[in-house]
Amino acid sequence: MFNKKITDSELEILQILWEKGPCSVRTVHEVICETKQTGYTTTLKLMQIMFEKQLLIRDDSSRTHIYTAAISKEKSQKQALSKIIDSMFKGSPTSLVMQALGDYKPSEQEIVEIKAYLDNLQKDNR
């Protein structure tokens, strides 16, 4: 299981790669610059570090290196959520769900989807 800590800056780059697919450093840097100022060399260095940490895969078969996320968005979300459940909710997914729904008013459609999900969980447990 992947267990390296992902920083906020690394997560930002991963989200770009999950959304856009394989990209050059320049492309990632341009997306980041839409919301904040940062130097190109900062983006480059961070992506090199992420490659060393095996967060990214690098294709260096051409002059411009192309990077791809080495961990899927879904796997990353599951890992982060497991960590939150264990550390913040003492291992109780029920407490997490109750807290989330207590602070957020789901739409009617979301309530229907949640009920359907719970019904499926209940059927699977029988």
Identify any residues that bridge with 56 across adjacent strands, giving them in sequence order. 69
- What would the CATH number be for the domain defined by 8-69? 1.10.10.10
Phi/psi of residue 114, each to 5°?
-65, -45
Identify any residues that bridge with 57 across adjacent strands, giving them in sequence order. 68
Query: For residue 56, how many other CB atoms are within 10 A of its CB?
Result: 23
- What's the predicted TM-score (pTM) here? 0.73
What separation, in Å, do the N-terminal and C-terminal C-alpha atoms of the chain show? 29
Give the span between the Cα atoms of 67 and 62, in whole angstroms.
12
State how far Cα 80 lies from the chain centre. 8
State how far Cα 48 lies from the chain centre. 19
Q: Which two tokens stand for residue 12?
A: 């930002």
Give the span between the Cα atoms of 85 and 92, in whole angstroms.
6
Which pLDDT tens digits describe the chain residue by residue (126 residues)?
455 678 889 999 999 999 999 999 999 999 999 999 999 999 999 999 999 999 999 999 999 999 999 999 998 888 888 889 999 999 998 888 888 888 788 889 998 999 999 999 888 887
